[in-house]
Amino acid sequence: MCGRIAVTLPSDSMAKLFAALPANNLPSVPNYNICPTDTVHVVRSRGEGRALVAMRWGFVPQWYKTPNNGPLLINARAETIAGKPAFAEAVRARRCIIPASGYYEWASTAEGVKLPWYYTRKDGAPLAFAGIWQDWESADGPLATCAVVTTGSNAMAGKVHHRMPVILEPEAWGKWLGEEGRGAALLMTPAPEATLRAHRVNRAVNSNRAKGSELIEPLEGDVGA
């Protein structure tokens, strides 16, 4: 599962990191509480190079009559993605990378209280989530949409949730984007346990209206530090 992300890296730094040409309509950063249906930064191959573009987080299949005509598809399961009608063509031909500084996951107490945790890379580098994208055609023109590919959690991340985003290392970016031949399916596996660290954060982030850098500040504890 991946239901909230944070992006603190400036757009020009993201463009440089991924060797991508930035679009003019990229969302504002930093944003410490990016929610489903918000606009996110996306790296995709285009022509002879890469582009850093804006897309709606929430994949819309072509047969939806409106963007809200069916389930909100913010994630695509790696184990079934190739066989799902909504995702099969996209994973073959429209793969992308969704950059993030970190993502949130929730653990539930015995009383049903949801406690948020914030995950980042131990080495401080940005996260690069495997994604897929789709242009949904409407009377007003195409709406670019995307979903994060998820897989089963490694032991560290699994202490909080049984799913995690597919995290791509730099050497895998070209292969996932289709720039270096086949083999993308082999990349849809959990990240090594040493990749991530996590800390508890304030429950204020449970609200999709919450803003500010205090949302990612640690409270207490650590998972797999």
Q: Where are the domains of the chain?
A: 4-109+124-194
H helices of the chain, in order, are 11-17, 88-93, 170-176
Count of other CB atoms within 10 angstroms of residue 109: 8
User: According to the model, what pLDDT value does residue 138 have?
Assistant: 83
Which pLDDT belongs to residue 223?
Answer: 57
Mean pLDDT of the chain: 94
User: Quick check: 94 and 81 in contact, CB under 8 A?
Assistant: no
| Class at the top of the CATH hierarchy for domain 4-109+124-194 | alpha beta
**Which of 31-35, 36-40, 95-99, 109-113 is predicted least confidently?**
109-113
DSSP conformational letter for 59: B
Q: What pLDDT is stored for residue 170 in this prediction?
A: 97
8 Å CB contact between 67 and 104: no
pLDDT for the residue numbered 48 = 82
